[in-house]
Amino acid sequence: MHHQKQLRAGLADTHAAQQIRQKLQNMQRMLQPVKVINPYAPLIDLPKEVFKPRRTLPLLLSFMEAITFYHQYQREQKAEEATGEIYIETHPADIEAAFKLLQDVLFRKSDELSGAAREFYQWLQSWHQQKKLKQFYAADIRKDHRIHPRTLNRYLQELQEYGLVQIVGGNKHRTGYSYKLTAASDYENLQKSIHTQITQVMENVRQAHEARQAPQAKAPKKKKAGQELDTVIAV
């Protein structure tokens, strides 16, 4: 909304935006169709906490290939012996970038709560600590947080199902239920666990990369096919 107001007032730098848009389009034009092979794919494991791994793993592997594709001028071109098809290989740096960019996605896919309920629960913890309440009603929340009653009831129901809030009194039809927060969620431990598992995967990938590079170091060096870009394409 701020940008819309700046644009209508003639205060937005539209020329700079057009230059950036043109630069991105030119970068896209320089990319060539090329096959991507990830030799480290067998080493890529999802954190064990991730729900629906069969959906998440293809997403992660495809994202690694996309990063490799955008760095095609920084990757050595190779040819398959049987068909002669040109391809490039995924580098450990591509895998590390994919994990870094998708880390929040992996956290979301490992969380029992829905994304909206998680954001509400984090707000509820901060609000509860600020108000220093032993127990609270839904009406108390609506005084400080603009939210539809049905949406609020759905969030409280979900938090109750996962044991994050508990009904301690009240009446459904008169005053409404009164709630209290139970033990804090183990979300921070979940994040640490996922980070540890990602670190282990990256260590395995680096070791495999070093093992693959060792025989090549002894052999005569070959010139890289393709032109090196002066600017590293940011993904």
| Token duo for residue 163 | 């044991």
The per-residue pLDDT for range 103-144, each reduced to its tens digit, is: 888 888 877 788 888 889 889 988 988 888 888 989 889 888
Q: What is the pLDDT of residue 105?
A: 86
Tell me, rounded to whole angstroms, the distance of Cα 133 from its chain centroid: 35
- Residues pairing with 170 in the sheet: 177
What are the residues whose beta carbons fall under 8 Å from the beta carbon of 201, sequence distance 6 or more? 43, 44, 45, 99
| Token duo for residue 214 | 């060792």
Complete DSSP assignment for 60-114: HHHHHHHHHHHTGGGS--EE-TTT--EEEE--HHHHHHHHHHTHHHHHHHH-SS-
Mean of the per-residue pLDDT values of the chain:
86
**Amino acid in position 110:** S
Dump strand ranges (E) for 173-229: 176-181
Give the pLDDT band (50/70/90) at residue 19.
Answer: very high
- In the chain the domains, ranked by start, together with CATH numbers, are 20-110 (no CATH), 115-184 (1.10.10.10)
Q: What is the pLDDT of residue 150?
A: 92
- Residues pairing with 176 in the sheet: 171
- The percent of residues in the chain predicted with pLDDT above 70, rounded, is 89
**Amino acid in position 111:** D
The per-residue pLDDT for range 170-222, each reduced to its tens digit, is: 887 777 888 988 866 577 788 888 899 999 999 999 999 999 988 776 666 55
What are the residues whose beta carbons fall under 8 Å from the beta carbon of 96, sequence distance 6 or more? 202
Q: Is the dihedral of CA 188, 108, 127, 174 positive or negative?
A: negative
Pairing of strands 35-37, 86-89: parallel
Give the pLDDT band (50/70/90) at residue 26.
Answer: very high
Tell me, rounded to whole angstroms, the distance of Cα 77 from its chain centroid: 29
Distance set, CA 87 to CA 11, 54, 72, 209, 227 (Å): 47, 26, 9, 18, 15
Q: Is the dihedral of CA 114, 119, 122, 127 positive or negative?
A: negative
Q: Which residue has the higher pLDDT, 183 or 98?
A: 98
